Amino acid sequence: MDVVFLGPPGAGKGTQAQRLERLEGLVQFSTGDLLREHRTAGTPLGRAAQDYMDRGELVPDALIIEMMEGELDRTNGGVLLDGFPRTVPQAVALDALLARKGRRPAIAVLFDIDLSLIQERLEGRWTNPRTGRVYHERFAPPRVAGIDDEDGGPLIQRDDDTAETIRKRLVVYREQTEPLVAYYRGQGRLYSVDATQPVDVVSAEIERVLHRRTGERRA
Ligand code: AP5
């Protein structure tokens, strides 16, 4: 099974992707993390993506689709996609790519959350830039402020987690990514979870969705 996580910035997609990768044996891809790695490495893609990301805009479809085709071509087995697709053309490209690999269309898990909660989630987020692991100063604090519990590395705040860029990312989400809700719902592939609940409760809800879906496909 291949799974797409869909939802606004700060809804908890990355948090849940990291937890579920371990539990469900799916290989996780975060387009945001991949792009940040390209930026750090100074690749042509990283340089091309930089200004879009800093402005809170989407990186052009052609660049993202090419990057994800490369990543998915190297993978066998189920994948968990965090942050891809984010536009209808990206969703169409993903469907075609999975069909080429002989796989069934991915299901989408929608992180349902009131957008008024997003600002607080993103302004309090701290990230390990090496592993992508995320914390929150109130909701999921590390044992020692500024230090990752797992590898002891420093935690940073992302450049695009400023009030102004968050506002822009929310507008971009509504205009360009929200249409995917209708795309997946129209094809009977959308499953919604209440992303306002505590992290463990959201994880349990997603696992229930995935297990129910696995049962439906076997039946
Ligand atoms: P990306 O890195 O994907 O950012 P995003 O979608 O804006 O998502 P976030 O990482 O901000 O949020 P999240 O939902 O993962 O939340 P998290 O788990 O961290 O993309 C960055 C940029 O890259 C884009 O703006 C764009 O430019 C570009 N890009 C990426 N993909 C692209 C694509 N496909 N096409 C074009 N451009 C693309 O949680 C947030 C905080 O909340 C954390 O502090 C966490 O600890 C806390 N939290 C999580 N869950 C809970 C909970 N249940 N209760 C309380 N707190 C919680």
pLDDT band at 26 (very low <50, low <70, confident <90, very high): confident
- Reply yes or no on whether the pLDDT at 103 is more than 70: yes
Q: What is the CATH number of the domain that holds 186?
A: 3.40.50.300
Q: Quick check: 171 and 115 in contact, CB under 8 A?
A: no
pTM: 0.94
Please tell me the distance from the alpha carbon of residue 68 to that of residue 34, in angstroms, as a whole number. Answer: 9
Domain with 38, as residue range(s), is: 3-218
Among 103, 125, 124, residue whose Cα is nearest residue 32 = 125
Within a 10 A sphere around the Cβ of 145, how many other Cβ atoms? 10
Active site residue 143: no
Q: Which residues pair with 82 in a beta bridge?
A: 5, 30
Element (H, E) at 195: none
How many structural domains comprise the chain? 1
Catalytic residue of the set 19, 36, 39, 125: 125
Catalytic residue status for 189: no
pLDDT per residue over 142-193, tens digit each? 999 999 999 999 999 999 999 999 999 999 999 999 999 999 999 999 999 9
Residue that wins the pLDDT comparison between 20 and 117: 117
What pLDDT is stored for residue 218 in this prediction?
62
Q: Whose CA is closest to atom 20 on ligand 1?
A: 32
* Nearest atom of ligand 1 to the alpha carbon of 136: 44
3-state secondary structure 123-154: HCEEECCCCCCEEECCCECCCCCCECCCCCCE
The pLDDT of 28-37, averaged and rounded, is: 94
**Tokens encoding 182:** 């209708």
Q: How confident is the model at residue 20 (pLDDT cuts 50, 70, 90)?
A: confident
Provide the 10 A C-beta neighbour count for residue 118. 20
The predicted-structure confidence for 123-143, as pLDDT tens digits, reads as follows: 999 999 988 899 999 999 999
Average pLDDT, the chain: 94
User: Is the C-beta atom of 71 inside 6 A of ligand 1?
Assistant: no
Helices 61-73 and 88-100: crossing angle in degrees, nearest 10, is: 20
**Does 132 contact ligand 1 (Cβ within 6 A)?**
no
Residue 163 CA, ligand 1 centroid: distance in Å: 14
Q: Which of 99, 64, 75 is nearest to 21 (CA)?
A: 75
70 lines ligand 1 (CB under 6 A): no
